[in-house]
Amino acid sequence: MKNYSIAAIPADGIGPEVISAGIDVLKALEKRLGTLRFSFQTFEWGSDYYKAHGVMMPEDGLAQLKAFDAIYFGAVGAPDVPDHITLWGLRLPICQGFDQYANVRPTRILPGIESPLRHAGPGALDWVIVRENSEGEYSGNGGRAHRGLPEEVGTEVAIFTRVGVTRIMRYAFRLAQSRPRKLLTVVTKSNAQRHGMVMWDEIAAEVAAEFPDVSWDKILVDAMTVRMTLHPQSLDTIVATNLHADILSDLAGALAGSLGVAPTANIDPERRFPSMFEPIHGSAFDITGKGIANPVASFWTAAQMLEHLGEADAAALLLSAVDQVCAAGIKTPDVGGSATTRQVTDAVIHAILES
Which stretches of the chain bind ligand NAI, using CB under 6 A? Answer: 14, 18, 75-77, 83, 91, 259-260, 281-284, 286-287, 293-294, 297, 332, 334
The site partner of 246 among Mg ion, ligand NAI, none (C-beta below 5 to 8 Å per kind) is: Mg ion
CB-nearer residue toward ligand NAI: 132 or 334: 334
- Rounded least distance, CB 230 to ligand NAI, Å: 24
d(CA 92, CA 133): 9
Does residue 132 touch Mg ion according to CB under 5 A?
no
Q: Which residues of 78-102 are buried (b: 16+ CB within 10 A; e: fewer)?
A: beebeeeebbbbbbbebbbebbbbb
Report strand pairing: 70-75 vs 275-279.
parallel
195 DSSP 8-state letter: S
Per the CB < 8 A criterion, the answer to whether 274 and 9 are in contact is: no
Per the CB < 8 A criterion, the answer to whether 112 and 50 are in contact is: no
- Rounded least distance, CB 297 to ligand NAI, Å: 6
CB-nearer residue toward Mg ion: 216 or 300: 300
Per the CB < 8 A criterion, the answer to whether 251 and 232 are in contact is: no
Could you tell me which of 341, 344, 315 has the C-alpha nearest to residue 330?
Answer: 344
The site partner of 240 among ligand NAI, Mg ion, none (C-beta below 5 to 8 Å per kind) is: none
The site partner of 284 among ligand NAI, Mg ion, none (C-beta below 5 to 8 Å per kind) is: ligand NAI
By CB under 5 A, name the one of 246, 307, 323, 334 that touches Mg ion: 246
The 3-state DSSP class for residue 2 equals: strand
* Options 128-136, 239-247, 255-263, 293-301: segment touching Mg ion (CB under 5 A): 239-247
CB-nearer residue toward ligand NAI: 204 or 259: 259
Interacting residue ranges for Mg ion, rule: CB under 5 A: 246
